[in-house]
Chains A and B, each alone.
Chain A
Amino acid sequence: MPDDLFRFFRLLLAWFVTIYCVIVTAQSLWGWWRWLAGRDRYLSLLRRYLLVQALRLRFRAFWGDALICLLLCAAFLLIWRAQYQMDQIEQTLKHVRTSHVQPQRAS
């Protein structure tokens, strides 16, 4: 049984969601890839058209949101790192306390 049930639930959820997202995204990308890799004349036309659409994408319409997303990702990684550090401190404190309490009881 884990010490902290909330942490255990959080870890389990993170693993499940990550694996689910990876599988679903990979499946979708693989399906698109296979469909677009066809040798049909019209699919070749479609590939070129998609490329043209991608090149004609207007970044001005959403570059602000994209930048905010990048900054939020960076903030999320920092918070993750901070949470990890905090957990380490908590573990260390717990260890120190238990190691201090046991010699007192023994004496």
Chain B
Amino acid sequence: MSSPSEPPDRRQQPGASRPGSPAPPVRIADLPRDELQALAEEFGLEPTRFKTPQHLAAALHERRQIIAAMDREAMLDVVRWGRRPVPLNAGKEQLAREIARITTMRFSGLSQRGLLVLARLRGVAVEPGDDVPALIRKLKRQEGFFARLNRKRRALLGSIVSNMLGEDRAEDDYQFLPPQSGGDSPASPPRRCGSVKEEIEEAGLLGGLAGRIKRSADSYVNQKLDEIESRIDRKLDEIDRRLAEWRDKEIANRIRILKITLWATVIVGAASILISYVKLYWFS
């Protein structure tokens, strides 16, 4: 990750390079408008609020400075609470991107420092000394009337669907992804595991149900892939065991053949020396 002290336009654009393929640094201000907008959305900015690309680039620069100044542990709190799939060694910008994907308005279980990070990334003006109720109040106030209304409507719909489906939900402990070699990696698709009601509240009826079906299909495919992998592992272990047996047997056989050859050589040599002795001392 680039240091916050660097000028913004000389830093590498996040997500433009992948580990192992060095790319020349790209100035944020030189990016095409659509890429700039996509980047802004990834960092939790609303691109339509900025009139010119220059304003957007400046906002992006400011946002990145805020992110660089954030407490990493607090960001990890938010990631754990939002159940976002990130590795433990993810950089701050990657964490910020994942946090920007969290749209839920249910803040139970999130620490005060996590609420501070979330509020700052949602563009809410907060003070470090704000307590949890104050932070939640500010976050809810920032949502807007119509957005809240829509959310309530979706929540109602979600509770109806949830009652119809009779969901029995058991939430597992959060686990980080395996560590990655590079600092920032391309963001993974959104995957928040919540109840049907919460999903419908966040993504709407169709979006929530589609997400649920997609996740079920994903888990089925993953289960099958795990089965195939374990079968291949068993087969490889069997091959390895047989190879080891064959190796030991082969070496033992070769040494036995060598032993027989040496016995024959020694016997012939002994017979030869015996004949020489008899010839020398008895017949000469």
Q: Are B276 and A86 in contact (CB under 8 A)?
A: yes
Q: Which among A53, A62, A82, A93 has the highest number of chain B CB atoms within 10 Å? A: A62
Q: Closest B residue to A54 by CB, please name it.
A: B247
Q: Are A73 and B280 in contact (CB under 8 A)?
A: no
Which residues from A are CB-within-8-Å of B210?
none
The reply on A12 being an interface residue by CB < 8 A is no
Tally of chain B residues near chain A (CB < 8 A): 22
Q: Are A57 and B255 in contact (CB under 8 A)?
A: no
Distance (whole angstroms) from the CB of A83 to the closest CB of chain B: 5
The reply on A89 being an interface residue by CB < 8 A is yes
Q: Are A69 and B259 in contact (CB under 8 A)?
A: yes
Which residues from A are CB-within-8-Å of B272?
79, 83
Q: Interface 1/0s, chain A 71-107, versus B by CB < 8 A?
A: 0110110011011001101100100000000000000
Q: Are B252 and A61 in contact (CB under 8 A)?
A: yes
Distance (whole angstroms) from the CB of A71 to the closest CB of chain B: 9
Distance (whole angstroms) from the CB of B242 to the closest CB of chain A: 12
Q: Closest A residue to B263 by CB, please name it.
A: A72
With A53-B243, A86-B276, A87-B276 as contacts: A65 and B269 at CB distance below 8 Å: no
What 10 pairs between A and B have smallest CB-CB spacing? A72-B262, A79-B269, A62-B252, A65-B255, A86-B276, A61-B248, A62-B255, A75-B266, A83-B273, A69-B259
- Known pairs A62-B251, A90-B280; list 9 more (Cβ under 8 Å): A53-B244, A58-B248, A65-B252, A69-B255, A79-B266, A79-B269, A83-B276, A86-B273, A90-B284
